Structure 1
Amino acid sequence: MLQFGVLGPVVVRRNEDPVNLRTAMLHRLMSVMLCSSMRPMSADSLVEAMWGEAAPATAKKTLQIYIHRLRRALGDDRRIVRHPTGYALTVLDGELDSHNFTDLVCRLSFE
């Protein structure tokens, strides 16, 4: 089971153990994809988020390499899905702390 944390430092855990994302760019990619989890992001949008106006000419190819590395780090190739419109990170119910927080607040608001 994966757990994603964005309330505080961005963290990923697999079976309670931290997932080592190794580089700042993998952390950035994970952060960006968590912001739009389950919704595809175009390669152009990801490149913009990763490099901004300083994107190298090889940015799209480099993005593919980072996507591959992130899939390996997560330990499940099915978590990052390629869609015709881009890439989407699959986050299951209960895996993202901000979703859990929102759910809890909503339940408490109606009690």
Structure 2
Amino acid sequence: MVVDGRGGRALRFTVLGPVAVWRGRERLDAGSPQQRALLAVLLLRGGRVATVAELIDAVWGEGPPTTAVAALRTYVPRLRKVLGPDAGIVVSDSGGYALRVDEESVDLGAAERLAGESEGARRRGQIDRARELLLPSL
């Protein structure tokens, strides 16, 4: 889990629904729609590097503006600023960028883990436990 230097409040990210970043209970301003799209793409790559071309395609699709490369070069430092003490998790590597976070800090990673645990419980015949893992509040 990513922990900052201010009392250990961990960063959490959501991609299932609105793309957002949280420090403890505080929702941080992840920026413009394009900057949030960049954040989502980096989170969904699971720490693997995305090239600038891949990021442009993911953020703007088939009709990127002529300023797309320059825009990406501004979104990355802005994203680092949002993350504050944890800015180092956004890395430049091999002509692209990656976001290095524990998969449990991303809602998708936590959901995949719970789904796997639920499937294991179902296979063992623990139907109530399987249901509990997927629907904890019901």
TM, length-normalised to structure 2 = 0.73
Change (3 A) 1:34 1:93: closer
For structure 2, the residue ranges without an aligned partner over 5 or more in a row are 1-9, 122-138
Deviating beyond 4 angstroms after TM superposition, the runs of 4 or more aligned structure 1 residues are none
For structure 1, the residue ranges without an aligned partner over 5 or more in a row are none
User: How many pairs align?
Assistant: 111
User: Is the counterpart of residue 53 in structure 1 residue 62 in structure 2?
Assistant: yes
Q: Per-residue deviation at 1:83? A: 0.8
Q: Per-residue deviation at 1:37? A: 2.6
TM, length-normalised to structure 1 = 0.89
Query: 2-side partners of 1:72 and 1:93: how far apart?
Result: 21
Q: Per-residue deviation at 1:74? A: 1.6
> What is the correspondence of 1:1-111 to structure 2 with a 5 Å cutoff?
1-75=10-84, 76-111=86-121
Deviations 1:42-70 (A, max 9, x none): 00111111222332323212211101101
Q: Secondary structure at the match of 1:30?
A: helix
Q: Per-residue deviation at 1:108? A: 2.1
Change (3 A) 1:21 1:108: same
Instruction: Answer with 1 or 2: which has the greater Rg.
Output: 2
Deviations 1:7-57 (A, max 9, x none): 222221012210112311211111221221301000011111122233232
Change (3 A) 1:99 1:63: same
Query: 2-side partners of 1:97 and 1:72: how far apart?
Result: 22
Q: Secondary structure at the match of 2:57?
A: helix
Q: Percent identity?
A: 33
Q: Secondary structure at the match of 2:61?
A: helix
Paired residues of 2:46 and 2:103 also in contact (CA < 8 A) = no
Query: 2-side partners of 1:32 and 1:95: how far apart?
Result: 15
